[in-house]
A and B are shown apart, each in its own frame.
Chain A
Amino acid sequence: MTENRGLKFESPTFGERIKGMLGVDLYRLFHTPLFYIFLAIAAIIPAMVSAMTMLPDQSGQKMEPLYSNVWQIIAATKTLYVIEGIADYANMNMVFIFGGIMVSIFIGHDYKSGYVKQLFTTHAKKQDYMISKSLVCAFAMACMCVSYFIGGTAGGLLAGYETDVNIGSLIVAIFGKMIMSLGWASLYTFLNVIFRRYFGISVASSFFFGTGILIIGAAAIVESLSLPTGFLNIFLYGASVNANLASGIGSLLICIPVSVTWAVIYNVAGTWLLNKCDVY
């Protein structure tokens, strides 16, 4: 603390700053319809996908089931860098796409409302902003994973899929996806900081990266060249597909460092960008 002619200037600690900012972001998350709409989407989409594939088609014949087991709605049966069918992708990975759009809207409101202006003119640091957004959005995406699990399970059970599963792998798969939410949320926060003035581009870029389009392309190249696919695990999408119904604890050992490392990278990059560019 310094004192100038009776005026006291105290530097708030990192803990004080981040506590305030997290408090605000969590309050906003729980007090705006956006979060609940996306929770509902995360629950309804898998339920609809699983239930609709069991409905008879126009000729009255039953459609080819998309899944053979309820839990395939949650995660793929094995590690698949390149998807072989829509069912391989239509699992909890979809939360990363919904989450991307949610993060874009959440952060877009910061800029649209002028809240960031209010924030950065005071003691708030750019790194606090990145950390707070990443953590809160990761939390929201983790909640969406739970919502997806409930919706997907309910839909699968109603559709009459089989329920055989290795419980341990299922739990690891769900936890793995939730852990990966941190890395994905940080990526989306970073993207939204880059395109902060262009809401439409923010949403589009989140959707584009959320589908893991780049890594799917990279994986396709790797596979066509018969290269080892293991190094793809260092990317968010690669690590995310490691959390599947064949997972063991080793999958979490991939997910945790990859998610945390990318979260740090995106936070540092976002902080640098905000420090260098006009905030508002």
Chain B
Amino acid sequence: MNAVEIKNLSKSFGPKMAVCGLDMTVPMGAIYGFIGENGSGKSTTEKMICGLIPTSGGSIKLYGKDYTDESVRARMGVLIEAPGCFPGLTVWDNMMLQAENLSVPNAEQEVIKVLKTVRMEGAAGNKYKNCSLGMKQRVGIAMALLGDPTLLVLDEPLNGLDADGMRIMREVFTDIIKDGQHSIIVSSHLLGELQKVATHYGIIRHGKMLVEMTAEELDASCRTYVALHSGDANKTKMLLGCKYSRVEEDEAGYIRVYDLTTPEEVVQYLYSNGICVTEIKTDKIGLEEYYIDLMKGGR
């Protein structure tokens, strides 16, 4: 059984189709990285899963039940856009209100537990409106964690978090799915961070699912490349461009050769043309480059 199973989902806002025939499967125990450009339909899809907007067509099943079933909805934790907190109340009060809404037993202990999880126990007495962006984001995640949810839907949860905050979130996410029953859908534009935790990916474009894959499948389909530094970058690029079909310089100044080749072959070729290679390595493209390639239609 899958945590989320979406078939042929569509949503239109007047004449505009925001989501169009989307299929999506989130297995139990997965951290599902949901990726797409701005306006690709990610948030709309998430809002439909969360029951915030009605669907125009298709079906959404959560743990085998219709998404409107209150028994599964009772086990959902959500952070969409920004946490729904009252600015004039304290973090603690906001958390307690949500616990009350969810009829969480032992609400106080549960609130303390989730605030500790996101390292916000020291700021419980702060008014929500006085919290920084990162703190607000942590509160939102803590709120989503209340009531032991089996499915977490988190829209851009890493926004505004500092490096430590991101590390904590990664730990929290991996901890949650340990038992193989809890699942998380995370959408984020921070693909490097997402790649560190996601077990599955779904890439959406123009309201349609372009590709769904596991982390292993992504790894297998990510191309390898040879990256090098040399004394004369311009001449090196020109020479490599004559022999290989795709040569690019990355942000760190490495010249990358994407064709199937070996470092030895590249070094030998450059040496024979009077270029001395000072550093060379082979690597694989990451999620970010894979995604950019996909968006460019390069794959």
What is the interface of chain A, defined by CB distance below 8 A to chain B? 1-2, 4-7, 9-12, 16-17, 19-21, 23-24, 27-28, 31-32, 109, 113-125, 275-280
Say whether B86 contacts A109, CB under 8 Å.
Answer: yes
Say whether B64 contacts A123, CB under 8 Å.
Answer: no
Say whether B51 contacts A120, CB under 8 Å.
Answer: yes
Say whether B81 contacts A114, CB under 8 Å.
Answer: yes
Contact of A20 with B103 at beta-carbon distance under 8 Å, contacts A9-B75, A118-B78 already known: yes
Decide if B189 is an interface residue (CB 8 Å cutoff): no
9-residue interface stretch from B94-102, B192-200, B237-245, B267-275 = B94-102
Say whether B84 contacts A118, CB under 8 Å.
Answer: yes
Q: Choose one: B52, B87, B150; the contact of A280 (CB below 8 Å).
A: B52
Contact of A117 with B71 at beta-carbon distance under 8 Å, contacts A5-B181, A19-B103 already known: no
Interface centre among B97, B100, B101 (most CB of A within 10 A): B101
Q: How far is the CA of A4 from the CA of B65 in the complex (A)?
A: 10
Say whether B71 contacts A2, CB under 8 Å.
Answer: yes
When A and B form their complex, which 6 residue pairs have the shortest distance between CB atoms, in order from nearest? A118-B84, A114-B84, A123-B74, A9-B71, A121-B50, A121-B78
Say whether A10 contacts B181, CB under 8 Å.
Answer: no
Contact of A115 with B86 at beta-carbon distance under 8 Å, contacts A6-B181, A121-B50, A121-B52 already known: yes
Interface contacts beyond A1-B71, A28-B97, A115-B84: sample of 15 additional A-B pairs, CB < 8 Å, sorted by A:
A4-B1, A7-B75, A10-B71, A11-B71, A12-B70, A20-B102, A27-B100, A31-B93, A32-B89, A114-B85, A115-B86, A118-B78, A119-B84, A123-B73, A279-B53
Contact of A7 with B83 at beta-carbon distance under 8 Å, contacts A20-B103, A118-B98, A278-B54 already known: no
Residues in chain A near residue B84, CB distance under 8 A: 113-119
Residues in chain B near residue A32, CB distance under 8 A: 86, 88-89
Contact of A122 with B97 at beta-carbon distance under 8 Å, contacts A114-B85, A115-B85 already known: no
Q: How far is the CA of A21 from the CA of B85 in the complex (A)?
A: 15
Residues in chain B near residue A23, CB distance under 8 A: 100
Q: How far is the CA of A28 from the CA of B86 in the complex (A)?
A: 9
Interface size on B, residues (CB 8 A): 42
CB-nearest residue of chain A to B73: A123
Residues in chain B near residue A114, CB distance under 8 A: 81-85
Q: How far is the CA of A7 from the CA of B64 in the complex (A)?
A: 12
CB-nearest residue of chain A to B146: A122
Say whether A117 contacts B52, CB under 8 Å.
Answer: yes
Say whether A122 contacts B81, CB under 8 Å.
Answer: no
Q: How far is the CA of A32 from the CA of B129 in the complex (A)?
A: 14
CB-nearest residue of chain A to B97: A24
- Give me 6 A-to-B residue pairs in the complex whose CB atoms sit less than 8 angstroms apart, sorted by A's number: A9-B74, A120-B52, A121-B73, A122-B101, A123-B70, A280-B53
Interface centre among B74, B89, B143 (most CB of A within 10 A): B74
CB-nearest residue of chain B to A124: B101
Contact of A20 with B50 at beta-carbon distance under 8 Å, contacts A4-B1, A114-B84 already known: no
Say whether B97 contacts A9, CB under 8 Å.
Answer: no
Q: How far is the CA of A118 from the CA of B147 in the complex (A)?
A: 13
Decide if B63 is an interface residue (CB 8 Å cutoff): yes
In the complex, what's the smallest C-beta–C-beta distance from B145 to chain A, in angstroms? 13
Residues in chain B near residue A109, CB distance under 8 A: 86
CB-nearest residue of chain B to A112: B87
CB-nearest residue of chain B to A23: B100
Decide if B80 is an interface residue (CB 8 Å cutoff): yes
Decide if B135 is an interface residue (CB 8 Å cutoff): no
Say whether A117 contacts B85, CB under 8 Å.
Answer: no
Residues in chain A near residue B85, CB distance under 8 A: 113-115, 118
Residues in chain A near residue B51, CB distance under 8 A: 120-121, 279
Q: How far is the CA of A7 from the CA of B197 in the complex (A)?
A: 23
Interface centre among B69, B82, B86 (most CB of A within 10 A): B86
Decide if B228 is an interface residue (CB 8 Å cutoff): no
Residues in chain B near residue A27, CB distance under 8 A: 93, 97, 100
Q: How far is the CA of A1 from the CA of B101 in the complex (A)?
A: 19
In the complex, what's the smallest C-beta–C-beta distance from A270 to chain B, in angstroms? 16
Say whether A275 contacts B54, CB under 8 Å.
Answer: yes
Say whether B70 contacts A7, CB under 8 Å.
Answer: no
Say whether A11 contacts B88, CB under 8 Å.
Answer: no
Residues in chain B near residue A116, CB distance under 8 A: 84
Decide if B124 is an interface residue (CB 8 Å cutoff): no
Say whether A122 contacts B73, CB under 8 Å.
Answer: yes
Residues in chain A near residue B71, CB distance under 8 A: 1-2, 9-11, 123
Interface centre among A6, A109, A117 (most CB of B within 10 A): A117
Interface flags for B103-125 (1: CB within 8 Å of A; 0: not) read 10000000000000000000000
In the complex, what's the smallest C-beta–C-beta distance from A14 to chain B, in angstroms? 10
Q: How far is the CA of A4 from the CA of B80 in the complex (A)?
A: 27
Decide if B76 is an interface residue (CB 8 Å cutoff): yes
Q: Choose one: B87, B147, B181; the contact of A113 (CB below 8 Å).
A: B87
Contact of A10 with B74 at beta-carbon distance under 8 Å, contacts A5-B28, A31-B93 already known: yes
Q: How far is the CA of A4 from the CA of B75 in the complex (A)?
A: 13
Residues in chain A near residue B54, CB distance under 8 A: 275-278
Say whether A31 contacts B65, CB under 8 Å.
Answer: no
Contact of A278 with B52 at beta-carbon distance under 8 Å, contacts A19-B103, A28-B97, A118-B98 already known: yes
Q: How far is the CA of A275 from the CA of B68 in the complex (A)?
A: 11
